[in-house]
Amino acid sequence: MNSYQRPFPGLLTVTLLVCAAAGFAAARAQEASPELISPLGRKLYAEPATGEALQKLQAALQEAAARLERDPENADLLIAYGRALASLWRYREAIEVYSKGIVLYPANALFYRHRGHRYISTRQFDKAVADLTKADALLPNDYDILYHLGLAHYLRGEFERAVPAYERCLAAAKDDGSRIAVSNWYHHALRRAGKKAEAEKLLAAITPDMDAGENASYLNLLLFYKGLKPEEELLKAAEATPLELATTGYGVGAWYLYNGAPDKARALFERVVTTPYWPAFGFIGAETELVRLKSGR
């Protein structure tokens, strides 16, 4: 029996459970090692919430850890534990859990999917593409896998390779909310790949009466790209939360970028990266664009 077939030393200890239960946020904020150093050189820490919201996340982690401790080789419980860690922005530990799951279950696409997502969160885009490509081979035409695979290619600047992933993702979408979410990134990828006519055809299928669900920000962006929503309205609404600002700020900035206004795009990207919600795809996108703009790419 190898080390990955036993209960995980150091992961499911009483110490972890106690840390998860209380006082964790302050300890993380003060520790010397950040969760990652951003491409812009900023130290980013695992500080997802405060107060009651943080307590709920900690309680969920404690419960997930306790269940996994009782059945340490259960694939579903491993994934649940990794997701509980990720909800606290503890992505390095989540990646470790998914990596151990891959050793135990090398044909389980979900471990590659979740690890690939968290490689995106930690700005390891090459690894993300590798994992999500593997996940796609194991479980073809899965919406979540393709959504993240398209994003990983997009963030690497591989717009031509992002396009087919998003095309397949859109075909796999089962409701308006899912179609809206992927259409936003698919539109960006098409425009960046020089496929303006295809991007306009994609937008033609977007209407104001679609049921966006939790993806209202993406629907508003798509309507903005169509000329049906003013920028001022979007950005004013985006002030509600850091996540909204990251999502909307990147979307409007990207639109400026491929419409020949890089200075306006840069200003929005710089605004986005001052927000605290650094795991947001919009935040990650803004970082990536600022690096590209600085290097002249």
Q: Where are the domains of the chain?
A: 9-106, 122-228, 230-289
For 13-17, 72-76, 256-260, which range has the lowest pLDDT when averaged over its residues? 13-17
C-alpha 71: how far from chain center: 29
Helical pair 91-104 and 75-87, crossing angle rounded to 10 deg: 170
The residue with greater pLDDT, 16 or 264, is: 264
Residue 32: per-residue pLDDT: 56
CA distance 188 to 193: 8
C-alpha 252: how far from chain center: 18
The pLDDT of 66-85, averaged and rounded, is: 97
Q: What is the pTM of this model?
A: 0.89
Residue 2 binned pLDDT confidence (cut-offs 50, 70, 90)? very low
The pLDDT of 88-96, averaged and rounded, is: 97
Residue 297: per-residue pLDDT: 65
* CATH T-level fold of 122-228: 1.25.40
The pLDDT of 126-146, averaged and rounded, is: 98
Residue 20: per-residue pLDDT: 40
pLDDT digits (tens, 9 = 90+) for 214-250: 999 999 999 999 999 999 999 999 999 999 999 999 9
Residues 6+ apart with CB under 8 A from 158: none
CA distance 294 to 41: 13
pLDDT at position 288 over 90: yes
pLDDT at position 19 over 60: no
Determine how β-strand 36-37 pairs with β-strand 43-44.
Answer: antiparallel
The residue with greater pLDDT, 203 or 21, is: 203
Residue 33: per-residue pLDDT: 86
Residue 29: per-residue pLDDT: 44
CA distance 287 to 44: 13
pLDDT digits (tens, 9 = 90+) for 193-209: 999 999 999 999 999 99
Residue 296 binned pLDDT confidence (cut-offs 50, 70, 90)? confident
CA distance 243 to 236: 13
What are the φ/ψ torsions at residue 43 (nearest 5 degrees)? Answer: -80, 125
Residue 14: per-residue pLDDT: 31
94, 118 Cβ separation under 8 angstroms: yes
